[in-house]
Amino acid sequence: MRAFNFSAGPAMLPEAVMRKAQAEFLNWNNTGMSVMEMSHRSKEFMEVAHHMEATLREIMGIPSNYKVLFVHGGASLQFAGVPMNLTEADDVVDYVNTGVWSQKAIKEASRYVNVNEVAKAENSIPAPETWRLSPEAKYLHICQNETITGVEYQSAPISDKPIISDFSSTVLSRPINVSDYGVIYAGAQKNIGPAGLAIVVVREDLIGQARSDTPNLMNWQTYNDNESMFNTPATFSWYLAGLVFDWIKEQGGVDAIGEVNQRKSKKLYDLIDASDFFYNEVDPSVRSWMNVTFKLKNADLDAAFLEESKAAGLLSLKGHKAYGGMRASIYNAMPEEGVDALVQFMKTLKRNTPDNSRP
């Protein structure tokens, strides 16, 4: 039996997708071979690739003046890729620091360009009026959803500069307006599919400005000119991502999925807020729909909580070591029943502990 796996990433994939992949694992589409055994340049695989991009464009509502690139190196390579593609070494760029992933992006970008940190917070997003923006900045970088604390922008900030956003842990989780952004990038292993690829959705005028010493495989132009096949892509990850995009469409797209995601997260936040045993530290106006963090008021009971939740089939609830406590990552593929089971588990623990000595 499959458990409810609250891992932050790699994370649960939709069961229907896994079953389909399993059924056609050895013999894809009557070709006599697995999709991972065929040439990436074959007609068959090119159809997989084109279908994947078309479906992503449709479910994400990507306008025609945006290019979709399927890239190597995860989201982390784009921490360097963004400045290399958009700046020269003496340029200035603005970054909002809302947590660990913002900080990693800042640290890497600082090796290539002058980074101005416009604001900093851990459990909230500082009010945009307070951001110390630099007039000459080439772009404004944000992390749309801080996976470790569970802090998420509920809409795009307003800026006259291109907004570059790390969407790794919230891509395709709710409707967004792609044209609010210059570049959206995301690693696959949270909401897209298995690890091994990342997507870059980039407004076409932002392609073609890379530094001359940018490695080919970091240059967005290379991907754009070669249908993301300058070299061999992670074909099996592409194929599975395509199945996940089909699945999202079947669910009614990001509008329908967004409603479910909001409801799933609210069930947990409502329980946590009403509880004497658990608390959440994030400003309620920017709480993540994807990563719900909570801490036990008595942290001595963390180990017992993890042991008992695991025994109940609720896996990977341990929070990131940089933040502590617990984290329920409830990406698109986490069924609502999984959240209901966690809520029930947390309530039962409460009922069994009249003396407050346990969670």
Smallest CA-to-CA distance from 21 within 333, 215, 237 is with: 237
Contact 167, 145 (CB under 8 A): yes
Element (H, E) at 21: helix 15-23
Q: Which two tokens stand for residue 99?
A: 């947590």
Per-residue tokens: 160: 């006259």
Q: Which stretch binds ligand PLP (CB under 6 A): 71-79, 87-95, 257-265, 331-339?
A: 71-79
Assigned token pair, 141: 């970088």
- Using CB under 6 A as the binding rule, whether residue 81 contacts ligand PLP is answered as no
Query: CA-CA distance, 94 to 327, in Å (whole number)?
Result: 29
The interface mask with ligand PLP, positions 178-197, x = CB under 6 A, is ---------x----------
For residues 224 and 127, give the distance between their C-alpha atoms in angstroms, rounded to a whole number.
36
Alpha-carbon gap, residue 69 to 229, rounded angstroms: 10
Active site residue 246: no
Tally of CA atoms within 13 A in the half-sphere of 190 that contains its CB = 27
181: tokens are 């952004």
Q: x/- binding map, residues 93-132, to ligand PLP, per CB under 6 A? A: --------x-------------------------------
Among 94, 108, 166, 246, binds ligand PLP (CB under 6 A): 166
Q: Which is nearer to ligand PLP, 234 or 271 (CB)?
A: 234
Does residue 82 belong to the site contacting ligand PLP (CB under 6 A)? Answer: no
Q: Is 143 in the site for ligand PLP (CB under 6 A)?
A: yes
Contact between 14 and ligand PLP by CB under 6 A: the answer reads no
**Could you tell me the two tokens for 358?**
């346990």
Query: Which CB atom, from 146 or from 302, has the smaller least distance to ligand PLP?
Result: 146
Binding of ligand PLP at residue 169 (CB under 6 A)? yes
CA angle 114, 282, 143 (to 5 degrees): 30
* Set 67, 138, 190, 318: catalytic member: 190
Whether residue 220 lies in the annotated active site: no
Which one of 67, 94, 166, 318 is the catalytic residue? 166
75 touching ligand PLP, by CB under 6 A: yes
Q: Is 101 known to be catalytic? A: yes
Q: What is the spatial distance between Cα 62 and Cα 49, in angstroms, rounded to a whole number? A: 17
User: What's the token pair of residue 180?
Assistant: 């609010």
Give the shortest CB-185-to-ligand PLP separation in angstroms. 9
| Residue 318: DSSP 8-state | B
Identity of residue 330: I
Of 87, 123, 168, 280, which lies in the binding site for ligand PLP, with binding defined by CB under 6 A?
A: 168
CB 280, CB 269: distance < 8 Å? yes
Tell which one of 7, 17, 74, 248 touches ligand PLP (CB under 6 A).
74
Site for ligand PLP contains 152 (CB under 6 A): no
Per-position x/- string for 228-257, each x denoting binding to ligand PLP as judged by CB under 6 A, each - no binding: ------------------------------
Binding site for ligand PLP (CB under 6 A): 9, 74-76, 101, 143, 147, 166, 168-169, 187, 198
Catalytic residues: 101, 166, 190
